[in-house]
């Protein structure tokens, strides 16, 4: 005979042997199930912010550079980021074909539009000549071409004016 008392988290077992002997055993039942393995809440929150701006592969790189790991202590991959994003119902990144005038773009894309090397864009960011943002440490820089449009009407002319001004005060653009 077997009786379970869930309120007391205990079970009582009575064994009746072939010869008529009885053994009674009281067992304690586990009070709660073990803790579920989950990815840190701050990693999920960061994923929510990054997913609107970057594809899964870039997000995986950002999370790995920050030393974050999955719930099972694995490094992030694009597949793991995608699975985590789908589990939590986070929409995926959808790139736009052409960025509008005030839209934030990557340094690589800005360098192509402006006709300069990415290192020049980094230097202009470091010197405070152009403004950019990083959503979190390790994330790619994003900047707006709007100041270049306001300066000269087209971004290429705007960067040329900025570089000429730097040369006139003795700063190198290389």
Average pLDDT over residues 87-103: 78
Q: Which residue, among 60, 87, 90, has the nearest Cα to 76 in the 3D structure? A: 60
Q: What are the pLDDT digits (tens) for 107-141?
A: 888 888 777 889 988 888 887 777 788 889 889 88
User: Residue 116 has what pLDDT?
Assistant: 82
Between CA 86 and CA 92 the distance in angstroms is 8
> Is the pLDDT score of 152 beyond 50?
no
Torsion sign, CA atoms 96, 125, 158, 144: positive
User: Residue 166 has what pLDDT?
Assistant: 59
Q: Which residue, among 101, 95, 142, has the nearest Cα to 121 in the 3D structure? A: 142
Phi/psi of residue 40, nearest 5 degrees: -55, 140
Average pLDDT over residues 94-114: 75
Helix (H, G, I), strand (E, B) or coil at 9: coil
Q: What residues does each domain of the chain span?
A: 1-34, 41-87, 104-168
User: Residue 45 has what pLDDT?
Assistant: 95
Q: What are the pLDDT digits (tens) for 57-82?
A: 999 999 999 999 999 999 999 999 99
Q: Round the average pLDDT of the chain to a whole number and report it.
A: 82
């Amino acid at each position: 005979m077997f009786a379970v008392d869930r309120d007391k988290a205990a079970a009582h077992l009575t064994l009746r042997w072939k010869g008529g002997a009885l053994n009674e055993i009281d067992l304690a039942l586990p009070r709660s199930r073990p803790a579920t393995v989950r990815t840190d809440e701050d990693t999920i929150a960061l994923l929510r912010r990054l997913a609107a701006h970057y594809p899964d592969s870039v997000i995986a790189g950002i999370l790995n550079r920050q030393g974050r790991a999955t719930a099972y202590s694995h490094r992030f991959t694009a597949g793991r980021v995608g699975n985590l994003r789908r589990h939590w119902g986070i929409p995926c990144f959808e790139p736009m074909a052409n960025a509008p005038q005030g839209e934030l773009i990557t340094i690589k894309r800005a360098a192509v539009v402006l006709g300069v090397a990415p290192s020049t864009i980094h230097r202009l960011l470091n010197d405070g000549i152009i403004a950019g943002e990083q959503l979190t440490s390790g994330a790619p820089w994003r900047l707006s071409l709007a100041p270049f449009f306001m300066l000269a009407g087209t971004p290429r002319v705007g960067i040329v004016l900025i570089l000429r001004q730097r040369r006139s005060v003795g700063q190198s653009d290389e």
